[in-house]
């Protein structure tokens, strides 16, 4: 059994803790202004609560905070029209470090505090003044009947002086005599900048040199019904000047089971945007805390912009850092659900706007689906893709019923007439696509990632009535495997990976030219191209394509091999190199290929056994056909492009010779 020698209380000496508060509690000296202004706002709110309770009958109609400078005396003062303090209150709340007057006041006036929350709770903010000041003075007069004004002064040690004051107006003035090296806080421009950063939306006018310098109204605290679209846009432009207007926004407003207010904006996304960096500003009771919201906002929503304000987000005593806990995770889940609900409502109520925003909006939805299973389940029915099908013209668009959270069903598109974007493109869900095409190619999805470079392939598919989906955003490379896991029986094939049997002309059988060996015309075409291009790793594949518009040749990249190379390039953070192993599909039905074979066979060998000019020309045209097909895949390096241009000029010269 352990013998207890002594029990007692740990002794905290103010002479030891005071330097820590002054030097280490806050990461930046400038925070002192946020803390002192927050205290001033609290003092004004407290007086308002007291007045509402009937304990004060004075005028509270024009609350304000005024900041003044005296460069000669090196002083900065923050004056408020708040509740003030008595000598006993100064002894209790100022002289006892970390004894929070806010906590005691909230307990006494809890009904009023619920409607108008007090900012401060820790009781340490006042001492941040000593990070920049050699002396701090308080001049104050309490609202209480018969109260006497008092003056408190401290030089940064544990010693203070308390004396009578000649002040005759209710309120408090904090005066800081700044230390050497802190003169920047005597510059009005510097203080204005700090007010805009930390105190811009505090609900009390803050004056400098007689001018109100803060907005003092927080749009996110207002009712959504009281704000117009222009109000939301104006707020966004104020927060993010010189940026394009956002696509749309979501107003957060809940008080149960936690308090969260805010406005989140969907910006237009650029390919180089850092999706891991937050641009959302975090506030607590309209006091700016940080613009680093990784813990509060789900990872996939970090590219959003705007404001989140919550009194329930646990901060450390300096209000500088979040303390992660279950509440933070619940708030993050709430924000994700709110975003999902808002997107579904937009899709239901205004599909045209939803589609118009999809180019950027889709990246958020897809990224969210990749990172959050709950969100993926929410938005699975509103994932759309641009399609080559002319829905509503050649055929009637199917009517898809989607279940809302309330259990009601609603139609994706009113009257079976899908909305289009500004360019007239139609959009479809994957489920609709599979249903429409189950008789043509059941459980196969044809998609394109670059409508320009893959235009030849897309047109070939369209000419044979095959529908192609556009998956051209930078996130689709990662998103397609997710779709394949969701639709396990569906195969996704890029248009340049393989040719569906529908595209091939099976009736054009290759003619046998040597019965002894069963050598066919296709075999001759294959040999001709293999000898001409001399690339052993290129698989030459003669096939007859349907349609007069089909090209003479196409370069195909097998789906699995291409994806593997894309993955390796991503892991190595390198640009994907065009693979040496690929397929050259030669269209045997094209007149150019038929003429080229005849040219090659009739003149490859001259009478003297050497190469003939016509033979050189046939070889040159084979390479030109291959390079033209390669160009559609952007498969050229610098040397390949140089060779192609030089050969083109030589070929044109030969064709024009007489």
Is pLDDT of 147 > 50? Answer: yes
**pLDDT (average), residues 145-153:** 94
* Residue 203 located in a structural domain: yes
pLDDT tens readout for residues 612-655: 566 788 888 899 899 888 887 776 666 777 887 888 888 878 77
Do 108 and 20 lie in one domain? The reply is yes
**Residues 415-466 pLDDT 10s:** 444 567 777 889 999 999 999 998 988 899 999 998 888 888 899 999 888 9
- Sorted by sequence, the CB contacts under 8 Å of residue 195 that are 6+ apart come out as 33, 37, 67, 206, 208, 213, 214
456 and 534, same structural domain?
no
Is the distance from CB of 240 to CB of 260 less than 8 angstroms? no
- Helix, strand or coil for residue 626? helix
Distances (CA, A) of 610 to 167, 297, 526, 533, 606: 113, 74, 22, 19, 5
Task: Kindly report the pTM of this predicted structure.
Answer: 0.76
In a domain, 358, yes or no: no
What own/partner pairs with CB < 8 Å and gap ≥ 24 does 293-299 have?
295/322, 295/324, 295/328, 295/332, 296/322, 296/328, 296/331, 296/332, 296/335, 297/332, 297/335, 298/332, 298/333, 298/335, 298/336, 298/368, 298/371, 298/372, 298/375, 299/371
The residues that bridge with 504 in the sheet, in sequence order, are 545
Longest dimension (CA), the chain: 126
pLDDT at 636: 64
Rg (CA), the chain: 37
**Residues 588 and 551 placed together within one structural domain of the fold:** yes
**Mean confidence (pLDDT) of the chain:** 82
The reply to whether 267 and 302 lie within a common domain is: yes
Phi, then psi, of 153 in degrees rounded to 5: -145, 140
DSSP 8-state symbol, 322: B
Q: What are the tens digits of pLDDT across the range 582-607?
A: 899 999 988 888 888 888 776 544 44
Mean pLDDT comparison of 208-217, 290-299, 578-587, highest-scoring range? 208-217
Burial 342-379 (b: 16+ CB within 10 A, else e): bbbebbbeebeebbbbbebbbbbbbbbbbebeebbebb
Residue 398 reports pLDDT greater than 50: no
Do 479 and 441 share a domain, yes or no? Answer: yes
- Asked if 120 and 110 count as a contact pair (C-beta separation under 8 A), the reply is no
Residues 514 and 494 in one domain: no
- Rounded Cα distance, 82 and 202, in Å: 14
The Cα 282–Cα 290 span in angstroms is 5
Q: Is residue 127 part of a domain?
A: yes
Could you tell me the CATH number of the domain that includes residue 240? 3.30.230.80
CATH number at residue 87: 3.30.565.10
465-511 confidence digits (pLDDT tens): 899 999 988 888 889 988 988 899 999 999 988 888 889 887 776 77
Q: What is the pLDDT of residues 521-550, one digit of tens each?
A: 888 899 999 999 999 999 999 999 988 878
Place of tokens 């207007």: 245
Q: What is the pLDDT of residue 227?
A: 96
53 plus 198 within the same structural domain: yes
Confidence category of residue 113, pLDDT binned at 50, 70, 90: very low
Is residue 266 domain-shared with residue 192, that is, in the same domain? Answer: no
In angstroms, the Cα distances linking 170 to 42, 82, 84, 152, 203 are 14, 7, 6, 16, 19
Whether residues 189 and 227 share a domain: the answer is no
Whether residues 44 and 160 fall in one domain: yes
* pLDDT value at residue 431: 92
Containing 307, the helix (H) or strand (E) segment is strand 305-309
Residue 557 region by backbone torsions, left for phi larger than 0, else alpha for psi between -120 and 50, else beta: beta
Q: In the beta sheet, which residues pair with residue 66?
A: 79, 207
**Of 159, 184, 212, which residue constitutes the final position of a domain?**
212
pLDDT for 121 equals: 44
Same-domain check for residues 258 and 390: no
- In whole angstroms, give the CA distance from residue 502 to residue 442: 13
Range of the domain at 514: 510-555+576-656
CATH number, residue 430 = 3.40.50.11260
Residue 142 tokens, joined: 């309490």
Read off the tokens for 395. Answer: 């055929």
Look at residue 580 in the predicted model and tell me its pLDDT. Answer: 82
pLDDT digit string, tens, across residues 554-577? 999 888 877 877 777 666 666 667
CA pair distance 311, 151, nearest whole angstrom: 33
* Chosen domain end from 439, 470, 502: 502
pLDDT given at position 272: 62
pLDDT value at 182 more than 90: yes
User: Residue 347 in 3-state DSSP?
Assistant: helix
Q: What is the pLDDT of residue 275?
A: 67
- The reply to whether 338 falls in a domain is yes
What confidence score (pLDDT) does residue 403 get? 41
In the numeric block, which tokens belong to residue 558? 């097998």
At 310 the three-state DSSP class reads coil
Q: How far is C-alpha 444 from the geometric centre of its chain's CA atoms?
A: 31
| Token reading at 209 | 């040199």
Q: Tell me, what's the pLDDT at 610?
A: 53
The neighbour count for residue 110, using CB atoms within 10 Å, is 10
2 in a domain, yes or no?
no
- pLDDT the model gives residue 652: 79
Closest alpha carbon to 221 in 231, 208, 213, 210: 231
Render 390-453 in DSSP notation, one character per residue: -BTTTBPPP--EEE-TTS-EEESSGGG---B-TT--EEEEHHHHHHHTHHHHTTEEEEES-TTT
Q: How many CB atoms lie within 10 A of CB 414?
A: 12
Contact 68, 79 (CB under 8 A): yes
pLDDT digits (tens, 9 = 90+) for 249-265: 999 998 888 889 999 99
**What is the pLDDT averaged over residues 285-293?**
85
Q: What CATH number has the domain bearing residue 645? A: 1.20.120.790
Contact predicate 157/14, CB 8 Å: no
**What is the token pair recorded at 124?**
């340490």
- The tokens describing 363, both together, are 């990246």
CA distances from 415 to 354, 448, 452, 508 (A): 17, 29, 33, 44
Ordered alpha helix ranges (H), 53-140: 87-93, 101-108, 110-115
User: Of 239, 300, 296, 237, which Cα lies nearest the Cα of 269?
Assistant: 300
pLDDT tier at 393, thresholds 50, 70, 90: very low
CA distance 287 to 289: 6
490/610 same-domain check: no
Nearby residues of 87 by Cβ (< 8 Å), 6 or more positions away? 148, 150, 162
pLDDT of residue 14: 55
Given this model, what pLDDT does residue 220 score? 96
Instruction: Specify the DSSP class assigned to residue 198.
Output: I
Range with the poorest average pLDDT among 296-305, 312-321, 496-505, 649-658: 312-321
Q: What is the DSSP string of 512-544?
A: EEETTTTEEHHHHHHHHHHHHH--TTEEEEEEP
CA distances to 56, 79, 105, 118, 146 from 142, in Å: 11, 14, 14, 18, 9
Predicted confidence at residue 574, as pLDDT, reads 66
Given this model, what pLDDT does residue 86 score? 94
Q: Is residue 457 part of a domain?
A: yes
Last residue in a domain, options 171, 190, 212: 212
State whether residue 369 is helix, strand or coil.
helix
Residues 199-210: tens digit of each pLDDT? 999 999 999 999
Q: How many domains does the chain have?
A: 4
Distance of alpha carbon 153 from alpha carbon 151, whole angstroms: 7
Quick one: pLDDT at residue 187?
96
């Amino acid at each position: 059994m352990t013998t207890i020698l002594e029990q007692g209380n740990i002794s905290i000496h103010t002479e030891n803790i005071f330097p820590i508060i002054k030097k280490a509690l806050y990461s930046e000296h400038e925070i002192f202004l946020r803390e002192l202004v927050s205290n001033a706002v609290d003092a004004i709110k407290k007086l308002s609560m007291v007045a509402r309770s009937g304990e004060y009958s004075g005028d509270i109609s024009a609350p304000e905070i005024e900041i003044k400078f005296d460069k000669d005396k090196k002083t900065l003062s923050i004056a408020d029209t708040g509740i003030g303090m008595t000598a006993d209150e100064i002894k209790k709340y100022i002289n006892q470090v970390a004894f929070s007057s806010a906590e005691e006041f909230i307990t006494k006036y809890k009904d009023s505090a619920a409607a108008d929350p007090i900012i401060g709770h820790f009781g340490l903010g006042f001492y941040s003044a000593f990070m920049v000041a050699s002396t701090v003075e308080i001049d104050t007069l309490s609202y209480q009947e018969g109260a006497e004004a008092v003056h408190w002064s401290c030089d940064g040690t544990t010693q203070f002086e308390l004396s009578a004051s000649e002040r005759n107006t209710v309120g408090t003035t904090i005066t800081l005599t700044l230390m050497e090296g802190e003169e920047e806080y005597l510059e009005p421009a510097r203080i204005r900048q700090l007010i805009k950063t930390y105190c811009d939306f505090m609900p009390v006018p803050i004056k400098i040199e007689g001018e109100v310098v803060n907005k003092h109204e927080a749009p996110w605290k207002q009712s959504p019904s009281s704000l117009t679209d222009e109000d939301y846009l104006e707020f966004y432009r104020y927060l993010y000047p010189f940026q394009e207007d956002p696509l749309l926004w979501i107003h957060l407003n809940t008080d149960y089971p936690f308090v969260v207010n805010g406005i989140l904006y969907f910006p237009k996304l650029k390919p180089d945007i850092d999706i891991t960096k937050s641009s959302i500003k975090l506030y607590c009771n309209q006091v700016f805390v940080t613009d680093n919201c990784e813990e509060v906002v789900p990872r996939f929503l970090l590219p959003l912009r705007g404001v989140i304000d919550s009194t329930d987000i646990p901060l450390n005593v300096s209000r500088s850092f979040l303390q992660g806990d279950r509440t933070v995770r619940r708030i993050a889940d709430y924000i994700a659900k709110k975003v999902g609900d808002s997107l579904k409502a937009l899709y239901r109520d205004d599909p045209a706007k939803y589609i118009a925003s999809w180019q950027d909006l889709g990246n958020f939805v897809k990224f969210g689906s990749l990172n959050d299973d709950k969100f993926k389940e929410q938005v699975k029915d509103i994932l759309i893709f641009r399609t080559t099908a002319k829905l509503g013209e050649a055929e009637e668009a199917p009517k898809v019923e989607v279940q809302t959270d309330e259990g009601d069903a609603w139609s994706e598109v009113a009257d079976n007439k899908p909305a289009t974007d500004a360019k007239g493109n139609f959009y479809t869900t994957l489920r609709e696509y599979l249903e429409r095409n189950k008789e043509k190619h059941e459980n196969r999805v044809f998609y394109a990632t670059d409508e320009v470079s893959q235009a030849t392939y897309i047109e070939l598919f369209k000419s044979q009535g095959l529908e192609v989906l556009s998956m051209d955003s930078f996130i689709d490379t990662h998103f397609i495997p997710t779709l394949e896991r969701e639709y396990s029986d569906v195969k996704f094939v890029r248009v340049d990976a393989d040719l569906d049997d529908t595209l091939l002309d099976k009736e054009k059988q290759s003619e046998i030219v040597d019965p002894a060996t069963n050598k066919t015309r296709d075999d001759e075409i294959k040999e001709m191209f293999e000898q001409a291009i001399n690339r052993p790793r290129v698989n030459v594949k003669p096939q007859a394509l349907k349609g007069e518009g089909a090209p003479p040749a196409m370069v195909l990249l097998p789906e699995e091999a291409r994806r593997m190379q894309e993955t390796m390039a991503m892991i190595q953070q390198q640009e994907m190199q065009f693979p040496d192993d690929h397929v050259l599909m030669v269209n045997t039905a094209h007149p150019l290929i038929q003429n080229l074979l005849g040219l090659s066979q009739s003149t490859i060998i001259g009478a003297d056994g050497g190469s003939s000019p016509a033979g050189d020309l046939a070889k040159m045209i084979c390479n030109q056909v291959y390079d033209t097909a390669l160009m559609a895949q952007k498969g050229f390096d610098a040397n390949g492009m140089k060779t192609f241009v030089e050969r083109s000029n030589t070929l044109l010269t030969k064709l024009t010779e007489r």
